[in-house]
Structure 1
């Protein structure tokens, strides 16, 4: 069904384009909002993504790959928007505490938190995007390195630093909540 819809959209069939938008817009919005950290920015970028996607859609040769192609396009456009922000590449001084050895376990804990968006605000723009893409969207470190035009080692180091920062924030939050109860 989706393949036929994509083929119709490639031919410029307006109802097919509308259905594709309706089917995928919420997922794209969730992805880019997680990367950008702003629902308003996410909404604006979602519109831009679909404009670009519909312009490029006739070039898509494998219609069955539409969802992955759209996700990749969305991620790239969100990262490009982040690169235009001033704090994308600025190094930060991080607290020296031990990071969890099991990054996957840390990500599982992160995705289970009720206030994950509030917690992610302690991260820089680039750190938040990296953690979101890895922990929530399921990108691998090698894929992120390609997407972010850097080495896999750099991605792993940035990710580890972000997890250290999140852990420190969580420890601090738990300490404050415990002290408040006493």
Structure 2
């Protein structure tokens, strides 16, 4: 997983222990620390601000109810992020917002490197282009480039094949380049 992730917030062991005991102040402190990065990730995955707010609340409440299951074999932030990603993707599947792909992707699809650091991903132009992509493509791009998930992890999360993840990455990267280049060309006219 990507250590550059905005989710990479370390929680002191004492605060986490208090939260596990149900201390409301500890739970609130954790919620406040993760509220911003959680919203950004949910918004990127869902493409809808209101839905993102709902997903953050649902995910945080679910995580707090299941806090006793956190075993500390990974950083807390990675566990919490996984809860959020799972909730967002399950919601999208329930709402049938992930488009059905008509043909099996090319297994030889070239993996492209878009290299989107989180500060670049905040750019309005890029956000506008991302919002015009299909939900599943946008989710793959964001999970791969910004959150640092592997194709295997993305395929598992989205209940699809690894080749689906690779093909969405390739197609999405190409489509983003086309959209961003077109806007750049239009601005020079």
TM category, shorter: 0.7 to 0.9
CA distance in 2, matches of 1:58, 1:49: 15
Matched with 1:96 is: none
For 1:28-177, what aligned pairs fall within 5 Å after superposition? 28-62=38-72, 65-91=75-101, 103-104=112-113, 106-108=114-116, 111=121, 113-177=123-187
Instruction: Find the residue that maps to 1:115 and give its secondary structure.
Output: helix
Which structure: larger Rg?
Answer: 1
Alpha-carbon distance change, 167 to 152 in structure 1, aligned in 2, over 3 angstroms: same
CA distance in 1, matches of 2:19, 2:100: 41
Instruction: Find the residue that maps to 2:66 and give its secondary structure.
Output: helix
- Corresponding residue pairs, total: 172
Superimposed CA distance per residue, residues 87-116 of structure 1 (whole angstroms, 9 cap, x where no aligned partner): 4133379xxxxx9x6622x23397384421
CA distance in 2, matches of 1:151, 1:42: 26
| TM value normalised by structure 2 | 0.80
CA distance in 1, matches of 2:102, 2:73: 42
- Choose between structure 1 and 2: higher helix proportion: 1
Contact kept in structure 2, 1:111 and 1:135, CA below 8 Å: no
Greater shift in the superposed pair: 132-141 or 83-92: 83-92
Structure with higher RCO (Cα < 8 A, 6+ apart): 2
Which blocks of at least 5 consecutive residues in structure 2 are unaligned? Answer: 1-10, 104-108
Alpha-carbon distance change, 172 to 91 in structure 1, aligned in 2, over 3 angstroms: farther
Greater shift in the superposed pair: 56-65 or 158-167: 56-65
Which blocks of at least 5 consecutive residues in structure 1 are unaligned? Answer: 94-98
1:18 equivalenced with 2:25 (yes/no)? no
Deviating above 3 A after TM superposition, structure 1's stretches of 4 or more consecutive aligned residues are 107-114
Q: Calculate the aligned-residue CA RMSD, in Å.
A: 2.4
Q: Give the drift of 1:175.
A: 3.2
Alpha-carbon distance change, 42 to 112 in structure 1, aligned in 2, over 3 angstroms: closer
Q: Give the drift of 1:174.
A: 2.7
